[in-house]
A and B are shown apart, each in its own frame.
Chain A
Amino acid sequence: MTNEEIQNIFFLECEEALAGAEEGLMACQSGEADSETVNGIFRAVHSIKGGVGAFSFTVLQAFTHKFETVLSYVRDGELGLSDSLTTLMLRAFDVLADHVAAARGEGEVPDDAAISQQLEEIAERAAAGQPAFDEDSAPAAPPVDEAPAETVEETVAADEAPVEQAEELAELASPVDDMGLDFDLDDLMGDLAVSEEEAAAFEAAAAEVERAADAKVVAKEQARQEAAAEADENRGEAYGRNLHIRFRDGALANGSEPLLMLRELEEMGGLCIAVDAGDVPTLDKLDVEKAYLAWTFYIPPHADKKEVEEIFDFIGDECELKFESLSAPVQREGIVVKLAEVLPQQQPEKSDAPQEAAVKAADAKDAAPAKTNAAKPEAPEAAGAKAPVAPATPAQARQVSSVGQTVRVDLAKLDKLIDTVGELVIAQAMMAQRLASHGLTAIDEMGMLDLLTRDIQESTMSIRAQPIGSVFSRVPRIVRELETDTGKRVALTMSGEGTELDKTVVERLGEPLTHLIRNAVDHGIETPEVRVANGKPAEGNLHLSAEQRSGRIVISLSDDGAGINREKVLQKALDKGIVAQGAQLSNEEIDNLIFAPGFSTAETVSNISGRGVGMDVVRQNVKDLGGRISIESHPGKGCTFTLALPLTLAIADGMIVTVGDQTIVVPLTHVLESMRPEEADVKYIGKDLMVLNSRGKFLPIVRLDHAVGASGAANTPAEAVLIVVDTESHGQAVLMVDSIVDQRQFVIKSLEAHYQPVIGVAGATILGDGKVALILDVDTLVADNFANHGAALAAA
């Protein structure tokens, strides 16, 4: 996995964390927060901080750290969660989100100076046991609409030196820490004086260990030691230090391994010059879980004291360390002699002995799961006493596997799978058809296969499904920013965040939805003054919901604002020449005019929703997703936009029709109705062109047989079936086909990938009988038809 890929995972994670944090903060704002909420926010920010450090986004790291500090005070109950603080944290959150976007290369690095300062000051106040804001000390929460920035300016002196923060940041900058290492060791260091009895025990232990030791390892180790000593000698001038080390009994607990620490010390150039075995008891009193030895190591001048301390860092109080600066050069000979005495007992660690012992003790080991420490001859007493009987960590069959509830899969692989499953479904249908033609319709095996195929299809589809919540989660921030920008007040409610739909749809839904929300706040909801004047509450309501309804996802956005001003819309449309003068339009049609290209109703083009692109783009976006958008507006009461989207893009609903010798699929998203016309409903214009009188409206009829070059099709509408379709550029039109055969889901195959783009054709699919059928691109087909017969039809 490349670094970049890991980084991408990190950004995905940031998104999740940000969404989680925002949700939590929103809950705080609405007063629904409990301790777990705050904890969740803290964890989210914390996890971002953890990652940014690893990827060296230093600016981001500094900011997350400040944010996290404040959050930790809130979490620990040292800061009350007042409205002002929540508002500040929401702003900090927005800055954090911008920081993450910037780190991702998607935007400018935000200016966080002001908010950082505020966070620092609050952390400082919290550290001093003060509330975040002065007024927070009063039991009553301050009013919501108080400007938070001012509050902070007033209550916090800006020139207070943020000492604590500085310290924390310093700590952040250098993650090395130095806990628990300064203590008094005066009475801890003995010399090598050993009682005879103890010496015997020591000898016994050493002998045991030595037998087990692999001579090669020892030799290598010694060579390394000598090389290290030589290296020291070359340095010459400074004298280095002696380090006295004594492990306490707890040092062997928790799987710590003192020997390996000593070995690491050696790797840094340290030389063991003395061992104090004075505390080693007689064998019968020896407790393998206790530490008895103390060491003195010579630490050469080039070894960094900090690094040395780091080795023993975590063992903390269980290990006593004392550095002693040397005032005279070390006599190399002296060291080597002592080393020779001490080394052999230290070496067997990587020998075969423990393994042999393990084999010998294999039978016993299941019955008595021995302490693994005992098998590690980290100190002579332990090794001597227990090595022969105690097994090493049982060699387990090791299997590399990853634990997790989620698996991240490359999208291309997933699409390939879905594609293949689509083929499987088709193959299954073909086989069913073939079997049926041999009179084998009701065989059990076929039923089973059918069931399984459908199961697989549904499961694979659900893999691509994503909760729409990932789009919804961005909405609160958008609304918040809009509130600030417009001075309007909006209460946002959402429902159905768990509704799942295709990942691609989810991803591409963000833009149109954002636009709709901007539109609703900018144009729909009135300013508080106007609302109050109209007898509405000052705060506007915006409700966003998603639900699954008959195989489609329906997303609706309702506001209780002014609704669409039809008079104004119509006037504008007339001015812009979008509708002809004198045209009679229904209310619904007028409402739909806002989707016309280049339409903008705001009198002053604001920088919020008036960006040149209008609702037509929204409509196009939705259409590209195979969906449809509709409006329901009640002047003075509000407006609801409803988006109906397919569950997936890979499979679409289609109407299978026949035209002469061809079978064609018409995507259902375009189909409004189908009918067998009365002869009187069809009018002829010239020889070839026909229009359908549909409830007083004349709709152009497109002869599909002409469009696709089919032969033998019905010649007059009376013999045919007419399908009314809705198109992007030309409103409604009518397709004339011979008959409607079926309506079913189909897998879309790109024609471009296998052939070339063809006007009027969106792709192809394979039918149950194995035949390929073209899928109509109704928009371009009708547009193309208009281009050919445009003048005549326009006249109609």
Chain B
Amino acid sequence: MSENIHVLTVDDSASMRALLRAALTSRGYNVSQAEDGVAALEWLADNNGGIDVIVTDINMPRMDGFGLIEALREQSRFRDCPILVLSTESSDEKKARARSAGATGWIVKPFDAEKLDSALRRVTH
């Protein structure tokens, strides 16, 4: 079922992007990538929002994950787009912040590809 799912991963770490790309493409996802919140917003604007799910890091330069989620939730077309946070952080405080910003889910890095897959399946429709 993941053949058609288009994921945008947002992470400032090139190796993390490469890992995500490898893990997700091998499971049949379409993968696009951005390196921070600003780049993600630009990509989404350029591509007319054509995305099924967004996976974002929290700690990033320019615009962090919280900022990205808030910015996306302000746009009507992304109000319901599932957004997963993928972060090394795992404090309740950060999670609560992510949730109030509008995140759909939280995955702790280092991620398990299977779990990421099932989380993506869980939030995509």
Write the residues of chain A forming the contact surface with B, with a CB cutoff of 8 angstroms: 1, 3, 5-7, 9-10, 12-13, 42-43, 46-47, 49-51, 53-56, 171, 175-177, 179-180, 253-257, 260-261, 263-264, 311, 313-316, 349-350, 369, 371-373, 375-376, 392-393, 396-405, 408
Contact = CB atoms under 8 A, between A and B. Distances in A.
A466 B50 CA distance: 35
Interface in B99-124: 99, 102-106, 108-111, 118, 121-123
A347 to B, nearest CB: 14
Contacts of A375: 125
B103 A9 contact: no
A314 B103 contact: yes
A175 B22 contact: no
Nearest to A318: B99
B123 A53 contact: no
Contact of A400 (B30, B82, B104): B30
Contacts, number: 159
Interface string B2-40: 001010000011111011011000000011111100011
Contact of A254 (B40, B83, B108): B83
A493 B21 CA distance: 42
A49 B88 CA distance: 8
22 contacts: A3-B22, A5-B18, A6-B18, A9-B18, A10-B14, A54-B16, A54-B109, A54-B111, A55-B15, A175-B90, A175-B110, A177-B108, A254-B80, A256-B82, A256-B123, A260-B122, A369-B76, A369-B77, A396-B51, A400-B6, A403-B35, A403-B39
B51 to A, nearest CB: 8
Contacts of B42: 403
Nearest to B115: A310
Interface residues of B, number: 61
Contacts of A392: 125
A404 B88 contact: no
Contacts of A397: 50
A654 B78 CA distance: 60
Contacts of A47: 12-13, 59
Nearest to B61: A43
Given A54-B19, A403-B39, A396 B48 contact: yes
A393 B108 contact: no
B22 A255 contact: no
A50 B103 contact: no
A257 B122 contact: yes
A57 to B, nearest CB: 11
B80 A373 contact: yes
A314 B99 contact: yes
Contacts of A1: 18, 21-22
A314 B77 contact: no
B125 A51 contact: no
Given A54-B15, A316-B99, A260 B123 contact: yes
Contact of A6 (B15, B39, B88): B15
A13 B88 contact: no
Contacts of B21: 1
